[in-house]
Amino acid sequence: MKRGEMLAVALALLLAAGSGVLAEPLKFVDCGSKDGNIVEVNVTPCPRQPCLLHKGVSYTVNVTFSSKIDSQGSKAKVYGEMLHVDIPFPLEQPDGCKSGIKCPIQKGHSYSYLNKLPVKSEYPSVKLVVMWELYDDQDGMLFCWKIPVEITS
Ligand SMILES: *[C@@H]1O[C@H](CO)[C@@H](O)[C@H](O)[C@H]1NC(C)=O
């Protein structure tokens, strides 16, 4: 490649990353997914980690996982962890079957769970860990992941 072409490619990649077009899988901590396997966690836009969450912005969460069990339903719970305290985060739509998952969930199948993470303007500017869980019918976790984030104005 010529120098000019290389610059053009680099610029295009930078632009794509900046606008969130490139959905880079995030690094996460698995916090006990027992009834499922996490394939990929995406929060958009989050061009680099830890994710900077701006107040007044709604973020898209896309979790791809495979299930090890059959389950009619699924229910999500989200927490913000600060100083080892879990603060429940109310989800507008806790029903996983209304969040991109086609239920009933079948053993061996893969699903993409989709939801929104609205960051309200009244939230404080803090660093915290977001923990996202999805429970099946047997109260087992299809997935549990954690990522550090920073809320900013
Ligand atoms: C969610 O992520 C998976 C895996 O990267 C991808 O195949 C799927 O298209 C994504 N869904 C949406 C709505 O972005």
Is 24 near ligand 1, meaning CB less than 6 Å away? no
User: What pLDDT is attached to residue 101?
Assistant: 98
60-111 pLDDT, tens digit each:
999 999 999 999 999 999 999 998 899 999 899 999 999 999 999 999 999 9
**CB 42 near ligand 1, within 6 Å:** yes
pLDDT in tens, 48-69: 999 999 999 999 999 999 999 9
Q: Is the CB of 60 under 6 A from ligand 1?
A: no
Number of H helices, E strands in the chain: 1, 9
Tokens representing residue 52 in the block: 């900077």
Q: Check if the beta carbon of residue 85 is closer than 8 Å to that of residue 55.
A: no
SS3 content of the chain, % helix, strand, coil (to 5): 10, 45, 40
Residue 25: alpha-carbon gap to chain centroid:
9
Looking at the chain, the whole-number percentage of residues with pLDDT higher than 70 is 85
Q: Is the CB of 115 under 6 A from ligand 1?
A: no
% of the chain surpassing 90 pLDDT: 82
Quote the pLDDT of residue 1. 64
CB 58 within 8 A of CB 123: no
In eight-state DSSP terms, residue 138 is T
Residue among 20, 121, 5 nearest 61 (CA): 20
Answer for the pair 72, 31: CB distance below 8 angstroms, yes or no. no
Got the DSSP string for 76-106? EEEEEEETTEEEEE--S--BGGGTT--SSB-
Q: Which residue has the higher pLDDT, 98 or 4?
A: 98
Specify whether the CB–CB gap between 52 and 148 falls below 8 A: no
As a whole number, mean pLDDT of residues 115-131 equals: 95
Q: Indicate the pLDDT class of residue 20, thresholds 50, 70 and 90.
A: very low
